[in-house]
Amino acid sequence: MNTIYLVRNIDSELESYLEAFGAVLITGPKWCGKTTSASMKAKSILKLQDPDKSQGYLLTAQTKPSLLLEGDKPRLIDEWQMAPVLWDAIRTSVDNVRDEGLYILTGSTVVDESKIMHTGTGRIARLKMYPMSLFESKESNGIISLKQLFNDKNYNIDGLKSNLTIENLIFATCRGGWPSSLTKKTDAAKLLVAKSYLDNIIQIDISTVDGKKREPLKVQYLLRSYARNIGTISSNKTIIDDVNSNTNLSESAYYEYVNALNKLYVIEDIPAWNPSIRSKTSIRSSNKRMFIDPSIAAAALGVSPQMLLQDFETFGFMFENLCVRDLKVYATSLGGSLSYYRDRMNLEVDAVLHLNDGRFALIEFKLGTKQIEEAAKHLLEVVDLIRKANETRNSQKLKDPELLMIITGGEMAYTREDGIKIIPIGCLKH
């Protein structure tokens, strides 16, 4: 049965990159849709994981890798990291042909850089793909544009409404942004995709990512502890102690396991923003714990949508992960990146969205409306800190934030008198 292709945010960016570079590498977690999106642009495909041909492909890669590059261009090399020698072969081909849009590479793990002779700088561009945002899965109506919020001071969002109920948001969080889940007929089947993804990571991928055998039970407890600490800056020691309440995981093994999960794009912490607005000793610099998709946290904890409807505190942390995932998807076309701010005076901002032109937005995530006043207070306090810090400087003054936003699980968008934008996640797009 043919399924309709859902447009991804990365599609237009991939097209632009193919016009500018000889090859493009798309990275990201398994099952997020890399191969499907790349196939829409490719004119020939080499699937290194094809069980009938994989062994022959790998032998060819060792003897004459250029043979695997033959085919109509752009040529897609799927899961290229199975034969790292292809990287240098592609770089050489790009140099020799001197044309753009020759190859698309996809990979679900971070490759061992020691197996690559050259970086490919200037020849092979890199794109990061995430699981689907709510707009890509057609659950956000997309009537509020993040790009327009940055670029149009007169952009009126007042009165615009989301179609998503809290039940919809909880289900979307547990289901995740996995494209294959959207094609399932029942809700039960849709929820099984995230569970199966997690089982594959625990039982297989965690050991095959670098050929080191790891114990599935320890991986399971580690992911469960990570899920319990989602959206926090809990220390490594806190997580290790939590894991060791159920099993025995040494500190060195913990870092090794976490490194493997990073290579698989399962976890993706958010770094701290360290502006010079307080003493360096006052600003916390630990990463905030996050998964690439909130459904991994739900699956690791074994919680269902019905359970989260009775536990809004837990869902609040998962909602933050949902918003972070979507913002990362939307920010890619703007050249954006995310961090967070927190200091030892308990002043925090959930996310700081930085654009490559120096503009930035301060963002809070609040599930309901009751916490909006407190969130607004945090945003305005950070703005005040920036302005006070600038009063003592003659040069290198910090910019004011371009945007102050509170992203909610509510229904209606509006602008407060202090200029802060209240935006339902179900209205947002890139």
Q: What is the DSSP letter of 270?
A: B
Residue 228 within any structural domain of the chain: no
- Buried residues in 95-122 as b, exposed as e (16+ CB within 10 A): eeeeebbbbbbbbbbbbeeeeeeeebee
Residues 48 and 159 in one domain: no
Mean pLDDT of the chain: 94
Whether residue 249 has pLDDT greater than 70: yes
Residues 324 and 176 in one domain: yes
Whether residue 359 has pLDDT greater than 70: yes
Whether residue 113 has pLDDT greater than 60: no
Residues 281 and 412 in one domain: yes
pTM: 0.95
Residues 58 and 168 in one domain: no
CA distance linking residue 423 with residue 282, whole number of Å: 31
CA distance linking residue 369 with residue 144, whole number of Å: 19
Which of 40-54, 166-180, 278-292 has the weakest average pLDDT?
Answer: 278-292
**What tens digit of pLDDT does each residue of 372-392 get?**
999 999 999 999 999 998 988
pLDDT value at position 111?
A: 66
Please report which confidence band the pLDDT of residue 395 belongs to, taking 50, 70 and 90 as the band edges: confident
Taking Cα atoms as reference points, which of 14, 12, 30 lies closest to residue 264? 30
Facing residues of 104 across strands?
A: 24, 76
Number of separate domains in the chain: 2
Taking Cα atoms as reference points, which of 210, 195, 425, 255 lies closest to residue 327? 425
Residue 106, domain extent: 10-128
CA distance linking residue 409 with residue 365, whole number of Å: 9
Residues 89 and 171 in one domain: no
State how far the alpha carbon of 256 is from the alpha carbons of 103, 210, 244, 253, in Å. Answer: 33, 11, 16, 5
pLDDT value at position 1?
A: 46
Mean pLDDT over residues 389-406, rounded? 89
State how far the alpha carbon of 286 is from the alpha carbons of 272, 302, 325, 398, in Å. Answer: 6, 27, 19, 22
Residues 31 and 124 in one domain: yes
